[in-house]
Structure 1
Amino acid sequence: MDLTAPAPTATQALQLVAADMQAVDAVIRQRLTSDVPLVGQVAHYIIGAGGKRVRPALLLLMCGALGCTDARRHTLAAVVEFIHTATLLHDDVVDESTLRRGRDTANQVFGNAASVLVGDFLYSRAFQMMVDCGDMRVMRVLADATNVIAEGEVLQLMNMHDAALDEAAYLRVIRAKTAKLFEASARLAALLAGADEATEALCATYGQALGAAFQIVDDVLDYEGDAAQLGKNLGDDLREGKVTLPIICALRRCAPHEAALIREAIEQGGGDRLEEVATIVRTSGGAAQARAYAAAEAQRAIEAAQALPTDDEPHREQHREALLQFAAQLLWRRS
C-alpha cells in the first residue's frame, strides 16, 4: 500500500461502523450512571468532549474483518473507551494540562482530586463490565493491558527531563502507555470471533503497530501541529520535560549549539523555548525522521491486516480494507 500519497480519511473508514459506534455510545451513557452527582458530571464532561474514539472503532472494525457479530463487542468497545478516558483524567493531573479537545481539562474545571477519583470510578466500572462479559480470557487481556499502561506511565514519569533518553527507552514507554490498549482492542475482536492463535497474533500486531504509529505522529504534532486543529496546547511535552522521538532524532542531526539548546530546554522544562526547539526539530529533519518511524509502524500494521484470513463475503473485505486505510491515514493526520 502506498504510504506516500494521502489515504482516505479516517471518517471514511469509520462509516462502516457508524451504527455500531452509536450502540457503543448508548452503552457508555447507560454505564456512566452513578448515585454520586459529581461522578456523572466529571465523567460526562470528558467523554462528552468527543475525541476520535479510535480504540473502540478499532475493535469494531476488526470484528467486522473477522465476521464477528457477538453482541458483547459493543460492551467491550465501551470498556476500552472507559479505560482510555480514565488514563486521560489521570494524565492531565500528572502533566498539569489545561487544554484537551479544544476546551479546559476536567482537572481545570473540577479540580485534581475529582479528576483522579472519577478516573478511578471509570477504571472500576470498566472492570465491572468485563466481569459481565463472562469470559476469563477477555478479562485477562484487559487486566494485563491496564497494568502495562500504568507501568508505562510510571516509566514516562521516571524519564522526565532526561535529555540522554534514547530511542529504545522511548519506544518502551509508548508501547506500554499507548500501543498496549490498541493491541488489546484488536486482540479482543479475535477472542470474540473465536479466531485461531495465528489470527489473534495478527490482530495484536496490527493493534500494537497502529498504536505506536499513532503516538509517534502525536509527538511530532507537538512540534509542527496547529493548536486550533489539535485542540490542545502545543509544547506541553517540552514544558513537562518529555523526550519524544522527534527530539531524539533532532539531537542526532542538529548542530552542537542547537543540541545544547534542546538539552537545556528538556532539563529545565523550557516551554518558553518552544519556538526555537520546534524550528530545530523541523529544520534538522528530526520531525521527518520521526514520521518515517511512524510510517514503518503503519506499514507493519498494514502487512498484518493484509495477512488476515479472507473469504468471499464483501462485508468482511470492506472492513479489512478499512483497517488498511485506517493505518495509512494516520501518517497524514494534523489533529
Structure 2
Amino acid sequence: MSTVKSSKSSNPGQSTMPTMPSLARALPKVEDEIRALATSSSLPVVNTFSGRITAAGGKRLRSVLVLSGSLAVSGTISAKAVTAAACVELLHAGSLVHDDLMDNAEERRGVRTVNADWGPGPAVLVGAVPVNTSMLARANQAALEHISPFAASRLARTVTDLVEGQVLEVMDLYDVRRTPDNALRSVELKTGALFEVGCVLAAHCADADEPTTTAMARFGALFGLMFQILDDLLDLASTAQRLGKPVGNDIRQGVYTFPLLRVLTENQRTLLAERGRELSDAEVTGLLAELRQTSMVADTLAHCTSLASQAVRALPDLPEPEALGILRELPGAYLDWAASQIA
C-alpha cells in the first residue's frame, strides 16, 4: 500500500504527501478552487494580495485531511469535498495574514506579507481573523452555496474559535505566569479547530453518520493540537538553517508556549519578567541554548507521541482501507519530520 512518505525534508508538506492516485488527482482541483475563491473580489488590488498569499502554497495538510477523510468514509472524493478542502485552506490563509499582522512579519513562505507592503490597516481588511471579510467571507459563502448550511455554520464557528484563541494568546503576552493549560487552550482554538473542522467537513461531504463524524472530529482536534505543539517546539529547539526562518520568535513576541512553560526555571522566569519586551538577540540565543539542555525536547516529543496515538485510536473503522491508512499515518509522519528538525 502506498500511503505516506516520511523524510527529513525541510518542507513537511513534501514529507507527508499521500500518493494515492485519487488524492493526487484531487489536490490540483483544490488548488484551482482556492485560487478562484481568493481572487473573486471585484477589487483587483484585493485579488492581487489574496491571490499572492494563497499561491505561496504551504503544507496543504488540511486539504489532505479533508480529501482522505472523505475518501475513507465513502470511497470517493466528491466536488463538495474539494470545495470543503479549499474553504478550510482559505480560512487557514486568512488566519495567517492575521498572525503576520500580530507578529509584524515581513515574509511568509518566501512571499512578502500584506502588512509589509500595505501596512496594518489593509492587512486586516484582506484576511485577518477579527473581521468577516475577504478570504474568510469567501470561504463561508462557498460553503453555503456549494456544500450546505451545516458546512457554512461549522466554518463560521471555526472563525469564532480562531478569534477566541487569538484573544487568549494576546491576553497572556509577556506573562510569565501563563500556565501550560492556558497555552494549550489557545492552541486548541487556534489550530485544533481548523484541523477539526476539516475532518468534520470530510465526514459531512461523505454523508457519514453522527458517530463517525464525532470520531473524525476528535481525530482532527488531537492531530491539530499535536501539530501546533510541535511547531512551537521547533521555534525553540530547531535552527534557522533547518527551518528556513528565524527561531526564538515566540519568545521575542511574548508568546510563552506549552513546551517553554513546562521547563522554565525561576531564573529564566525572572529574566522574562524583567526583560521580556527588551530581550537582546544575545539573550534570546542564550535562553534557547539553556532550554535545549533541559528535558524540554524529550518531554514535548513524548507528549506529542501520546497525542498522535490518541488521535489514531479515535479514528473509526472506515470502508476505504487505503485512505484510512493515510489518516492513521499522518500524525506519526509529521511527528517524525518535526523530530528530524531538532538541532
> Fold match, TM over 0.5?
yes
Preserved contact between residue 24 and residue 77 of structure 1 (Cα < 8 Å): yes
Determine the C-alpha separation between the residues in 1 that align with 2:235 and 2:27. 29
Aligned partner of 2:327 in structure 1 is 323
Aligned partner of 1:109 in structure 2 is 117
| Partner residue of 2:258 out of 232, 238, 245 | 245
Does 1:291 pair with 2:291? no
Query: Secondary structure of 2:174's match?
Result: coil
Q: Shift of the alpha carbon at 1:103?
A: 4.0
**What are the ranges of 5 or more consecutive residues in structure 2 without an aligned counterpart?**
8-12, 128-132
Q: Shift of the alpha carbon at 1:110?
A: 3.0
Determine the C-alpha separation between the residues in 2 that align with 1:116 and 1:231. 26
Q: Shift of the alpha carbon at 1:34?
A: 2.5
Determine the C-alpha separation between the residues in 2 that align with 1:61 and 1:274. 41
Determine the C-alpha separation between the residues in 2 that align with 1:271 and 1:57. 40
Determine the C-alpha separation between the residues in 2 that align with 1:294 and 1:115. 33
Moved more, 82-91 or 11-20: 11-20
Query: Secondary structure of 2:263's match?
Result: helix
User: What is the TM-score when the length of structure 1 is the normalising length?
Assistant: 0.89
| Partner residue of 1:93 out of 101, 124, 135 | 101
Determine the C-alpha separation between the residues in 2 that align with 1:229 and 1:65. 34
Preserved contact between residue 248 and residue 286 of structure 1 (Cα < 8 Å): no
Preserved contact between residue 236 and residue 271 of structure 1 (Cα < 8 Å): no
Matches within 5 A, 1:60-75: 60-67=67-74, 68-75=76-83
Preserved contact between residue 239 and residue 246 of structure 2 (Cα < 8 Å): no
| Partner residue of 1:37 out of 29, 41, 44 | 44
Aligned partner of 2:149 in structure 1 is 136
**C-alpha spacing 1:258/1:153, structure 2 compared with 1 (3 Å):** closer
**What are the ranges of 5 or more consecutive residues in structure 1 without an aligned counterpart?**
1-5
Q: Shift of the alpha carbon at 1:170?
A: 0.9
Does 1:79 pair with 2:101? no
Kindly tell me the number of residue pairs found equivalent between the two proteins: 320
Aligned partner of 2:178 in structure 1 is 165
RMSD: 2.0
**C-alpha spacing 1:110/1:87, structure 2 compared with 1 (3 Å):** same
**C-alpha spacing 1:176/1:71, structure 2 compared with 1 (3 Å):** same
- After superposition, the C-alpha distances for 1:172-231 in whole angstroms (9 at most, x for unaligned) are 100001100100000111111121221111100110011001000000010122324434
Aligned partner of 1:188 in structure 2 is 201
Aligned partner of 1:3 in structure 2 is none
User: What is the TM-score when the length of structure 2 is the normalising length?
Assistant: 0.87
The letter for the 2-side match of 1:188 is L
Does 1:51 pair with 2:58? yes
Determine the C-alpha separation between the residues in 1 that align with 2:139 and 2:82. 13
Aligned partner of 1:14 in structure 2 is 18
Identity %: 30
**C-alpha spacing 1:231/1:165, structure 2 compared with 1 (3 Å):** same
Query: Secondary structure of 1:184's match?
Result: helix
Aligned partner of 1:270 in structure 2 is 279
Q: Shift of the alpha carbon at 1:263?
A: 4.5
- After superposition, the C-alpha distances for 1:134-179 in whole angstroms (9 at most, x for unaligned) are 5222122111111111111111100101111111111110000110
Determine the C-alpha separation between the residues in 2 that align with 1:101 and 1:81. 15
Determine the C-alpha separation between the residues in 2 that align with 1:82 and 1:150. 15
